[in-house]
Amino acid sequence: MNALIVLAALTGILLIAIVLIQNPKGGGVDPTMGGSAANQMFGAARSTDLIEKLTWGLAAALFVFSTLSAILA
């Protein structure tokens, strides 16, 4: 039980770090302020980037660890 909590905490810290080092991809409401239209004009970022895969993997791991620790509690 304690190991799952420690794993969830470490995964959360790693997830925060990975999200903070990502390049912003826009997504604002107004395309003139760096939204998605600017990305389309200058070329979209690769969606299969290693950092993005790590983000999704860590998010899934955090979900699993949190769910398992809630079930076992």
Q: What does DSSP assign to residue 13?
A: H
What is the DSSP-derived secondary structure letter of residue 24?
P
5 Cβ neighbours under 8 A, 6+ residues apart:
69
Considering the entire predicted model, what is its pTM? 0.66
Residue 7: count of CB within 10 angstroms of its CB: 17
Structure tokens at 21: 């080092």
Residue 43, SS3 per DSSP: coil
pLDDT for position 46: 59
> Is the pLDDT higher at 29 or at 69?
69
Residue 71: predicted pLDDT: 92
Residue-wise pLDDT for 11-68, tens only, equals 999 999 998 888 776 655 555 555 555 445 444 555 447 888 899 999 999 999 999 9
CA-nearest of 14, 26, 3 to 55 is 14
